[in-house]
A and B are shown apart, each in its own frame.
Chain A
Amino acid sequence: MTTKAYALPSDLSPATVTNTTSLLRIIALAFISGAAIASRLFAVINFESIIHEFDPWFNYRATRVLVADGFYEFWNWFDPTAWYPLGRVVGGTVYPGLMATSGVIYKILHALNLPVDIRNICVLLAPGFSSLTAWSTYMFTKELKDESAGLLAAAFIGIVPGYISRSVAGSYDNEAIAIFLLMFTFFNWIKALKTGSAFFGTIAALFYFYMVAAWGGYAFITNMIPLHALALLLMGRYSSRLYVAYSSWYAVGTLASMQVPFVGFQPVRTSEHMAALGVFGLLQIIAFAELVRSHVSSKQFQTLLYASVIGLGFLGTLAIIGLTYKGWIAPWTGRFYSLWDTGYAKKYIPIIASVSEHQPTAWPSFFMDLQFLIFLFPAGVVMCFRELRDEHVFVIIYAIVASYFAGVMVRLMLTLTPVVCVAAAIAFSTVLDTYINPVEPEAPADEAASSEVNSVASDVTNPSTPTPVSKKSKKAVKDSSASSTTGPFGDLVASVTSGKSGKKGERSFGVFGLDTRLVVIFHAIGMLIFFVWHCTWVTSNAYSSPSVVLASSNPDGSQHIIDDFREAYYWLRQNTPETAVVMSWWDYGYQIAGMADRPTLVDNNTWNNTHIATVGKAMSSSEEVAYPILRKHDVDYVLVIFGGLIGYSGDDINKFLWMVRIAQGVWPDEIQEPNYFTRKGEYKIDDEASPTMKNSLMYKMSYYRYAELFGGGQALDRVRGQQVPKTGPTLDYLDEAFTSENWIVRIYEVKKEDLLGRDLKSANAFAQGKKRKRTKPASRRKALL
């Protein structure tokens, strides 16, 4: 009989304990879901029920089309207003999973006579799915350790800022549902692998299909699962379970994923998907070899077989390389290269590098997004090494790969977050298990029984797992539970923590007394409380801004809403003809299409670099050069974002160098980045600015009449902290049409050609009554005097 640090109730029946724990689990999960949803509602409470940022506006617009016109019309939707005049075949260039999900929810709710507006469904979809994510993370972690770790993981993922940043209410983006699908696919994969079940493999494939339909990041699964399978093969852990799970997942999943129009034949024709195909082939070869080996006894034959297997694998690899070389398989895309070489994008594809979320992650953001989980994360990975069943290998690989990617790109923090939550939950629950377990270590005894117990903790819950130690550990558990006489509740605690209790028994060191336990537990709870505090603070302050509406505070502390974007977009909507083409930098394309409902030249679906470079060229050239470009593209209005007046730093002048770089990539002879710097190499907008800079359309549109605002005083640009020249730029080819309240959005109308066939500059000079210089032919003719 072991001593107890504290007494446990002993008069409970085992059934009561089981029922109560499962009820508590359900309640805990319900609360976690509630917390996950509630903390994402800051955006709605602080602002309003509005679609956030940029991409969500397109998703929202597409969803409205889907709901209004039906799925087939959506599938065949050609949007003539995007990428004017190229148009966009939306049905074939979109991941429809998100819109389809909202559409289905909308139809169901309306079938139930709940007339919910589609906007509210879109706004609240991400919080809703975050609770599903919490549940699937719980299921996933349960497979790795136990229910208590699962609950912790669910709680972590529910409120961790790294995930909230992409899933607050109104952040209607693909990631909103993709993380749930990611975790659930992984859960099914592990389940299939553990049980060797084709059923779970197929379920994994179906959710993989859903993931493919929902997010371009599906390639992460496409490569994670083969990587895991390959690692298992290399570790010599080939089994028929692996064969069944992988084959069913790959065959069904690949065929299903090819049904998404945007993906099409990519799974068999691009390098990104070749790993999955290669591992599939390898598995077939190995399975065949295993089969033959089990039937043939001759040793020489086996050697031959091995040689042929290796030869076949080699040939297969060669074939893939050859096909790539021949062009049958598309080589890696630039986005992929930029994952390995962070400088690649900046050099070759500035359009990718220009996106802030494609930048490498700064160290503080790891703490900001994950707080204390980032410290527990390595501990959790180490815990996985201690057990190292197949699923733990998966988590280890996932952790390594995702850590790397999260370091390369800010936005991939999102894929790291789930594994951090899982690993941290494992580590944290191990700590809690150790310190809540009331069993006191005792003097060395019973060594024979306990020496075998050194690895597995949770096999009791998964007795079917065929690890070599399972029998022994079961025995150990029996030992430990037999030794406890504290009733079923003690049983439960002991079973959960059996590994540790055994170890303690063995080595005769461990946790003594109640005080040590309480100290650690209070600290642990303190960490949790701070974590919740941090998450809530970060969520409400950093991640809940819609970025369509800005907030600042008045001197008295009250909130002041800056609503320039919507003001300008509604101006466009109400004052311009429906066919008026609006040119802006691509960041604002989706918003203009969504809020102003006007055709745009370029938008956030940056599929055509040349078209974007054309806009970049127009923005960075002088008026005379830009005007033919504008006319050729039927541009009626040009929209620029200018933050100089109120200090909004995300404005177009700050993005201007990217426009220059992108334009330079296509027209290196006409646009050169160094021309936009001062002689000292500084990027300035004041008197020292270079002539090219001052003549560029972007500069002129930003600072047109800005100095007048200061009534003769020195005009100051609050973003750049520089003084704007007193005599501002003049515009001949554009007319100022609209400037919003805080000057954030400025809209210019493109003038029509002069009716007398003059260039607009001299037409303007004439209209202002300036004397025209004598034109050349006149001087050539002379009158007789």
Chain B
Amino acid sequence: MFSRWGLLLVLGLASWATAKSSTGDSVLVILEPKLDKDNFSIFFDGLREKGYDLTFRAPKDVEPAVIEYDSPQFSHVILFAPETKSFANDITPQSLVTLLEKKTNLLLVVSSKQTPLTSLAPEFSLVLPPPGTPLLSHFPERDTPATVIPVNVSPNPVVTSKLPPVWFSGIPFSLQNNPLLFPILSAPPESFAADSEGDSGAEAVVQVSEKGGEGLWAGSQMSLVAGFQALGGSRATWVGGVDLFSDEYAQKETKPGVKSGNKEFASAVAAWTFQESLALRIDRVTHHRVNQTEALQAYTTNDEIVFTAHISKFNSETSAWEPFSGIQDMQLEFTMLDPHIRTALPPVPGKAGEYSVTFRAPDRHGVFKFVINHKRKGWTHLESSTMVSLVPPRHDGYPRFLSAAWPYYIGAISTSLGFFIFSALWLAGDDRESKKSKGSKAE
């Protein structure tokens, strides 16, 4: 057992140097027997070239298991099983969620057939169309069937470079209101989902669209590829059709002489899913008083506090985390139940990867937290919470003399002096005088 783990560890370390992903390079491809591995050679070879270590298995196979002894065996899982009716026990929808929990990234493909993934999709706030209703589009005019559609890639965080249209064939899905979910590839505005491969639905589309298009599985609100950034940090990508990754579509021309963008698009999707791109992390946070350096457990109210965060971004070219100063909209909250202070946390010019802000602590004692909560679509969530207490000044931390207290000082001093003079007179004076001063004492 130990030797096996050791071996894995050694392998892991050895492959780390060439790994492209920030979380590991072992990939399990669960490939339906119907699909030929060679049909996807461009995609898979691309992954291999990047340094991934691909393992193939069929959805109904038991070996190699995805999770053994509660620990995930692969860093990433590609599930190319759009039509298999039932999966092996270790990749049920429930265990796929468990995989995500255990920081494994998923690339999931669905089709118009009903599969176990159909019931998983709603958990990701995706709504799939009824079975058997693929996406159709009659525009632009072309020689392919209506189900094979060239889709323009609109710019989004995952695919930044300008790509030619990609060929797509499959189903759309609508995205529910979930901030973790975002579209990577949207359906063309003219497309719709229908149960026919041909033109028969077109009439109905026209009719419905004349009524305003309400309740139609159509339009650019539908997504074809959607990314999901889970709270634990792992990522899942849903793709509406497996052909997107196929060699055929990668080589197919959208216009004469222009190759489709499928290869680059698939590569970018895989890069995002496998945490190559847009992966950020907070290396460390520090806090200290202005003009001091050491971090305190407890600050005094109204202290000037400096808070600094060091943030890196993964660079897949060099396979290394590099300081990253590109975030402009990060905020720092100083929170006790509610944020008492919310301020911008801007990058420090000239210091790579460093973000710093100086603020005055509120005049309120309690247990506060420095909170960074930076969630942007596509980017790794940056979350950090550092607890410090904010205490009232020490007993000797208050100003010693107050100008406002002069009446009291004068009162105390004059009483003391008066008492001294009175005592002196009392002791020095003779009997008759003392009688007089007795009267004044009582007054």
Contact = CB atoms under 8 A, between A and B. Distances in A.
Interface of A: 72, 75-76, 78, 80, 84-87, 89, 91-92, 261, 287-288, 291, 295, 579, 632-633, 753-758, 763, 766-767, 769, 771-772, 775, 777-778, 780-785
A757 B122 contact: no
Contacts of B130: 783
A358 to B, nearest CB: 29
A782 B193 CA distance: 9
Q: List 9 A-B pairs, minimum CB-CB distance, nearest first.
A: A78-B391, A80-B389, A85-B367, A755-B231, A783-B133, A755-B230, A784-B194, A784-B201, A778-B127
B125 interface: yes
Contact of A87 (B119, B367, B442): B367
B205 A777 contact: no
Contacts of A92: 392
Given A89-B392, A287-B442, A783-B195, A78 B176 contact: no
B367 A767 contact: no
Nearest to A632: B337
B193 A784 contact: yes
B399 interface: no
B441 to A, nearest CB: 9
A755 B195 contact: no
Nearest to B133: A783
Given A288-B443, A777-B176, A84 B230 contact: no
A772 B123 contact: yes
Contacts of B119: 771-772
12 contacts: A84-B367, A87-B365, A87-B366, A753-B231, A755-B101, A757-B179, A766-B93, A769-B94, A772-B123, A777-B127, A783-B195, A784-B216
A784 B192 contact: yes
Contact of A766 (B97, B180, B231): B97
Nearest to B203: A784
A775 B97 contact: no
Nearest to B443: A288
B97 A291 contact: no
Nearest to B94: A767
Contact of A784 (B122, B195, B366, B368): B195
Interface string B158-182: 0000000000000000101011100
A756 B389 contact: no
B176 A756 contact: no
Nearest to B367: A85
A80 B367 contact: yes
Given A291-B442, A758-B123, A781-B215, A86 B336 contact: yes
Contact of B122 (A291, A579, A775): A775
A91 B391 CA distance: 11
Given A78-B298, A86-B367, A757 B125 contact: yes
Nearest to A284: B442
B204 interface: yes
A72 B124 CA distance: 56
B217 A781 contact: yes
A632 B336 CA distance: 9
B394 interface: yes
B123 A784 contact: no
A633 B204 contact: no
B283 to A, nearest CB: 22
Of the candidates A763, A766, A772, the one having the most CB atoms from chain B within 10 angstroms of its own CB is A766
Of the candidates A92, A756, A782, A785, the one having the most CB atoms from chain B within 10 angstroms of its own CB is A756
Contacts of B337: 85, 632-633
B82 to A, nearest CB: 18
Contacts of B208: 784
Given A76-B395, A291-B442, A757 B178 contact: yes
Nearest to B390: A87
Interface in B186-244: 192-195, 201, 204-205, 208, 214-217, 228, 230-232, 234
B100 interface: yes
Of the candidates B208, B336, B442, the one having the most CB atoms from chain A within 10 angstroms of its own CB is B442
Given A87-B367, A784-B192, A291 B174 contact: no
A782 B208 CA distance: 11
Interface in B355-402: 365-369, 387, 389, 391-392, 394-395
Contacts of B93: 766
B402 to A, nearest CB: 15
A348 B394 CA distance: 36
Contacts of B46: none
Given A766-B97, A769-B94, A784-B192, A72 B395 contact: yes
A763 B204 CA distance: 38
Contacts of B350: none
A514 B114 CA distance: 111
Contacts of B51: none
A215 to B, nearest CB: 22
B72 interface: no
Contacts of B366: 85-87
Contacts of A85: 336-337, 366-369
A76 B192 CA distance: 70
B407 interface: no
A85 B336 CA distance: 6
Interface in B4-62: none
A268 to B, nearest CB: 13
Interface in B90-131: 93-94, 97, 100-101, 119, 122-125, 127, 129-130
A82 to B, nearest CB: 10
A753 B367 CA distance: 22
B391 A756 contact: no
B205 A781 contact: no
B182 to A, nearest CB: 12
Nearest to B214: A780
Contact of B127 (A78, A89, A633, A775): A775
A86 B215 CA distance: 51
B385 to A, nearest CB: 9
Given A89-B365, A756-B97, A781-B216, 16 more contacts: A85-B369, A89-B391, A755-B231, A755-B232, A756-B230, A757-B178, A766-B93, A767-B97, A771-B119, A772-B119, A775-B127, A777-B176, A782-B216, A783-B217, A784-B201, A784-B216
B426 to A, nearest CB: 16
B229 to A, nearest CB: 10
Contacts of B133: 783-784
A768 to B, nearest CB: 9
Nearest to B435: A295
Nearest to A289: B442
Nearest to B125: A757
B439 interface: yes
A754 B130 CA distance: 27
Nearest to B338: A632
Contacts of A753: 231
Interface string B254-291: 00000000000000000000000000000000000000
Given A75-B395, A772-B123, A756 B195 contact: no
Nearest to A752: B231
A288 B442 CA distance: 6
A578 to B, nearest CB: 11
Contacts of B234: 755
Given A766-B94, A777-B127, A777-B174, A785 B365 contact: no
A756 B124 contact: yes
A766 B122 CA distance: 10
A438 B130 CA distance: 113
A307 B78 CA distance: 101
A296 B347 CA distance: 86
Given A85-B367, A766-B123, A784 B205 contact: yes
A603 to B, nearest CB: 14
Contact of A757 (B180, B192, B215, B391): B180
Nearest to B385: A634
A783 B367 contact: no
Nearest to A614: B337
Nearest to A769: B94
A333 B198 CA distance: 83
